[in-house]
Amino acid sequence: MNSSETVIEISGLSKRFKEVLAVNEVEFKVHKGDVFGFLGPNGAGKSTTIRMILSLISPTAGSIKIFGKSLNENRKEILTNIGAIVEKPDFYLYLPAIKNLEILAKISGKEISKKRILELLELVGLKDRAKSKVKTFSHGMKQRLGIAQALLHNPELIVLDEPTTGLDPQGVKEIRDLIIHLSKEENKTIFLSSHVLSEIELVANRMLIINKGSKVVEGEVNQLLSSKTLKVTIEVENVETAKKVLESTRWNNQIESITGKKFSINMENKDIPEVNKYLVENGVMVNALVPVRSLEDYFLTITAGVK
């Protein structure tokens, strides 16, 4: 399989739960080697789509092809090459971590040695707790065990549904580094869902935004994000001077809020150095310039553009 080959091909995918249309004719492709960000607010239909990709729920309409084969007709063969974490990581709490992995190894469709299981426990930092029952684990530890079970059978495609939910900053960083490692070093294809844009921005090369069950936008992360407006928080020594300096500029109307020594301006990514230079040249001491791009803001920009 070369890098242009399609790993996931979704066409016209819909799912209806009685009166609720959870996913509405979604279409997208994920190519080999992609870290594909699947982005949307809570309740957008991300988990429902992921559950359909993993055959946990059946679509009302549409087709799912993975590795070029229909999921419906080749479910077992396809699942042999997929590792996944769906929402929160749940295990048999009354069994030790290693026993949980041994059980899953036996039904993974591949020969998995005990050495491999121990290596994975070491990779996720749980080797010392291998024999502890999962009920004694924290959420973060369960999440790491979830990563280990997803990698157990060395799958080509890894599906991660909100893998950083409930983790502390250190845990979030570890997961992010692991995703980058898997993508860059092990050439895995990763399908990563999140409702946090910055999380996707840091690791994904392509992304799709879904809202109310429908696709909003899809494309290269750099291209999608570079042309859009950011909210930039600027911290200065004297906010009044800064305001006065900006009065005659095109950014004046974009000032959104002022709190203490900080004020926020909506601007494009490329304008950030220009604003910084302008303020400094006009005698304003700039302490910090922090671009913040929340999913909500970006999403509003996108939908405003669509309208």
Structure-token pair, residue 249:
């500029």
Contact between 74 and 113 under an 8 Å Cβ cutoff? The reply is: no
Contact between 37 and 159 under an 8 Å Cβ cutoff? The reply is: no
Site residues for another protein, window 13-32 (CB under 8 A)? 17
Q: Would you count residue 108 as binding another protein (CB under 8 A)?
A: yes
The binder of another protein chosen from 6, 11, 63, 80 (CB under 8 A): 80
Q: Would you count residue 165 as binding another protein (CB under 8 A)?
A: no
Q: Would you count residue 114 as binding another protein (CB under 8 A)?
A: no
3-class SS of residue 110: coil
**Smallest gap from residue 146 Cβ to another protein (A):** 8
**Smallest gap from residue 199 Cβ to another protein (A):** 21
The binder of another protein chosen from 44, 54, 192, 209 (CB under 8 A): 54
Exposed e or buried b per residue across 237-247, where buried means at least 16 C-beta atoms within 10 angstroms of its C-beta: eebeebeebbe
Q: Would you count residue 92 as binding another protein (CB under 8 A)?
A: yes
Cα distances from 246 to residues 48, 99, 260, 292, in angstroms, run 47, 63, 17, 20
3-class SS of residue 104: helix
Cα distances from 155 to residues 27, 62, 67, 167, in angstroms, run 24, 25, 12, 24
Window 32-51: contact mask with another protein (x via CB under 8 A): -------------------x
Q: Would you count residue 247 as binding another protein (CB under 8 A)?
A: no
Cα distances from 9 to residues 27, 67, 273, in angstroms, run 8, 8, 40
For another protein, which is the closer residue by CB, 48 or 229?
48
Contact between 106 and 152 under an 8 Å Cβ cutoff? The reply is: no
Q: Would you count residue 219 as binding another protein (CB under 8 A)?
A: no
Choose one: 74-82, 204-212, 224-232, 256-264; the region binding another protein (CB under 8 A). 74-82
Cα distances from 129 to residues 92, 108, 137, in angstroms, run 15, 23, 9
Site residues for another protein, window 134-163 (CB under 8 A)? 149
Q: Would you count residue 258 as binding another protein (CB under 8 A)?
A: no
Q: Would you count residue 12 as binding another protein (CB under 8 A)?
A: no
Which residues are at the interface with another protein (CB under 8 A)?
17, 51, 54-58, 75-77, 79-80, 82, 84, 86-88, 90-95, 103-104, 106-109, 149
